[in-house]
Amino acid sequence: MHSYKYLGWVLALLIVLSSLTVTVTDIFGGEKTVVISEELQVVETAIPVTVKTGTTAELAETAKSAILIDAGSGTVLYEKNCHERLPPASITKIMTMLLVLEAVERGQISLEDKVTISQRAASMGGSQMYMEQGEQQTVETLLKGIAIGSANDACVACAEYVAGSEEIFIEMMNKRAQELGMKNTHFVNTNGLPVADHYTSAYDIALMSRELLKHEIAHEWFTTWQTTVLVGLESKKQTEFELTNTNRLIKLYPGANGIKTGFTREAGYCLSGSATKEDLTLIAVVLGCDTTHNRWGETMKLLDYGFATCENAVLAKKGEVLGTIVIEKGSPSSVNAIADSDINLLVKKGEGDQVTTEIVLFERIKAPLKAGDKVGELIALKDGAEVGRYPLVADGDVEVAKLHEIYIRMLKTLI
């Protein structure tokens, strides 16, 4: 009896520690063997790949500064004076919206929360929703006012609700800018009204625009042309205020889906514009244009260039199972390795079919394990050379198995 028990434990241990291979279907066709590696070092998200298209033409002639990037990887496709510090006008509101939506995502606030409009918020000039001191609006209504109508009063109201004061919120804006790598940015207010020492760059705007686009709920607001909101104190006469989108790009350019306009005499006509065609989303930023006509024209020219020269090779979809790993002493005993987001690789137009993939998974992962923990990598190869690495994560929690579970598994190996 003791010898059988000992033999069972040895066999169970050998099964857990043995090398593993997993067969998965390559998204480009055929099957391949997944490598299980004890030495794997998982890196953070995508390695941007430079897509050199060889252009020397100036695509944004009337803009002081401009940039075109791939929203997925952050790859820069074109730039003109992209790190020059310039006043951004209402494009500032991209950071304001980002911080509010991140507060929603953390559970700190909700879109249904009612915000009481302060005297300070109600006194804002420029584009606004004409709210009165003391009236209440939901966070979602205020965000719609910012995204669609570029409402300055809504920016201040949101800032005060999230941080307690606009001053503290501005500190948060500058801190978040540093975290995003925005090295040529300094915010002094939440809405971009003219003030000294308030500046950013086309490159930095592209960074925060890319981050804002990750919040899918905002896409609905960015692409809404007109809507109405009810404003005013309930004790007085309330009126329906019409919001019309300041971003005419969504009317002018097929696939346009954002993001934010800006204009002051000092800043000129500015735009952070985005568009999606098939699996490719591009962000074009132009600053300091002399006319609104040129603002739209330069942005569309940049987007046309990007879509004509680049495409995305789709490597994996969010949640796609790309392998299975046995978890040592785990309950359950295995976990799927999945892509935690869509994985795309930017390539020159027509070269998508030249990309292949390999999956590498950790060996001997021990319980406990949490959903979202890194368990491997998807490696992208083009012409046999590695061009990108992307993390794969566990699709569920794995607890440490109870003794009776381990014993049952051990007995199954003897049958």
CATH code assigned at 232: 3.40.710.10
Whether 238 is covered by a domain: the verdict is yes
Inform me whether the pLDDT recorded for 38 exceeds 60: no
Strand partners of residue 56: none
pLDDT at 1: 47
Q: Residues 87-134: pLDDT tens digits?
A: 999 999 999 999 999 999 999 999 999 999 999 999 998 999 999 999
Q: How far apart are CA 181 and CA 198, in angstroms?
A: 17
Inform me whether the pLDDT recorded for 275 exceeds 50: yes
Average pLDDT over residues 81-89: 98
**Are 393 and 338 a contacting pair, CB within 8 Å?**
yes
Average pLDDT over residues 225-238: 93
Whether 42 is covered by a domain: the verdict is no
Q: What percent of the chain has pLDDT over 70?
A: 83
Give the number of domains in the chain: 2
Inform me whether the pLDDT recorded for 23 exceeds 50: no
> Both 23 and 91 in a single domain?
no
Structure-token pair, residue 36: 């299980």
> Both 380 and 288 in a single domain?
no
> Both 108 and 196 in a single domain?
yes
**At 171, is the pLDDT very low, low, confident or very high (cuts 50, 70, 90)?**
very high
> Both 173 and 252 in a single domain?
yes
Whether 218 is covered by a domain: the verdict is yes
Whether 43 is covered by a domain: the verdict is no
Average pLDDT across the chain, whole number: 87
Q: Where are the beta strands (DSSP E) in 301-342?
A: 310-316, 321-328, 330-331, 334-339
> Both 123 and 219 in a single domain?
yes
pLDDT at 285: 98
> Both 105 and 219 in a single domain?
yes
Residue ending a domain, choose from 268, 293, 311 = 311
> Both 281 and 190 in a single domain?
yes
Inform me whether the pLDDT recorded for 51 exceeds 70: no
Residues acting as catalytic residues: 90, 93, 150
Q: How far apart are CA 204 and CA 185, in angstroms?
A: 7
pLDDT at 12: 42
Strand partners of residue 374: 393
Whether 191 is covered by a domain: the verdict is yes
Whether 44 is covered by a domain: the verdict is no
Q: Residues 306-343: pLDDT tens digits?
A: 999 999 999 999 999 999 998 878 789 889 999 999 99
**At 44, is the pLDDT very low, low, confident or very high (cuts 50, 70, 90)?**
very low
Strands 136-138 and 385-394: unpaired
pLDDT at 333: 82
> Both 131 and 27 in a single domain?
no
> Both 245 and 324 in a single domain?
no
**At 11, is the pLDDT very low, low, confident or very high (cuts 50, 70, 90)?**
very low
Q: How far apart are CA 186 and CA 204, in angstroms?
A: 10
Q: Residues 342-368: pLDDT tens digits?
A: 999 999 999 999 999 999 999 878 889
Whether 71 is covered by a domain: the verdict is yes
Structure-token pair, residue 400: 């440490």
Least confident among 54-68, 107-121, 227-241, 291-305: 54-68
**At 58, is the pLDDT very low, low, confident or very high (cuts 50, 70, 90)?**
confident
**At 401, is the pLDDT very low, low, confident or very high (cuts 50, 70, 90)?**
low
Whether 287 is covered by a domain: the verdict is yes
CA atoms within 13 A on the CB side of 362: 22
Q: How far apart are CA 140 and CA 104, in angstroms?
A: 10
DSSP secondary structure code for residue 90 in this structure = G
> Both 344 and 306 in a single domain?
no
> Both 280 and 402 in a single domain?
no
pLDDT at 403: 72
Residue ending a domain, choose from 311, 342, 357 = 311
pLDDT at 364: 79
Residues ≥6 apart with Cβ < 8 Å to 290: 62, 268, 269
Q: How far apart are CA 262 and CA 213, in angstroms?
A: 18
Neighbours of 44 (CB within 10 A): 9
**Are 360 and 322 a contacting pair, CB within 8 Å?**
no
> Both 257 and 339 in a single domain?
no
Residue with tokens 């004409």: 130
Structure-token pair, residue 247: 């971003």
The CATH number given to whatever domain includes residue 386 is 2.60.410.10
> Domain limits at 215?
65-311
**Are 21 and 36 a contacting pair, CB within 8 Å?**
yes
User: DSSP assignment of 170-232, as one string?
Assistant: HHHHHHHHHHTT-TT-B-SSSS--S-TT-BB-HHHHHHHHHHHTT-THHHHHHT--EEEEEES
**At 240, is the pLDDT very low, low, confident or very high (cuts 50, 70, 90)?**
very high
Residue ending a domain, choose from 288, 311, 334 = 311
Of residues 301 and 7, which shows the higher confidence score? 301
pLDDT at 229: 96
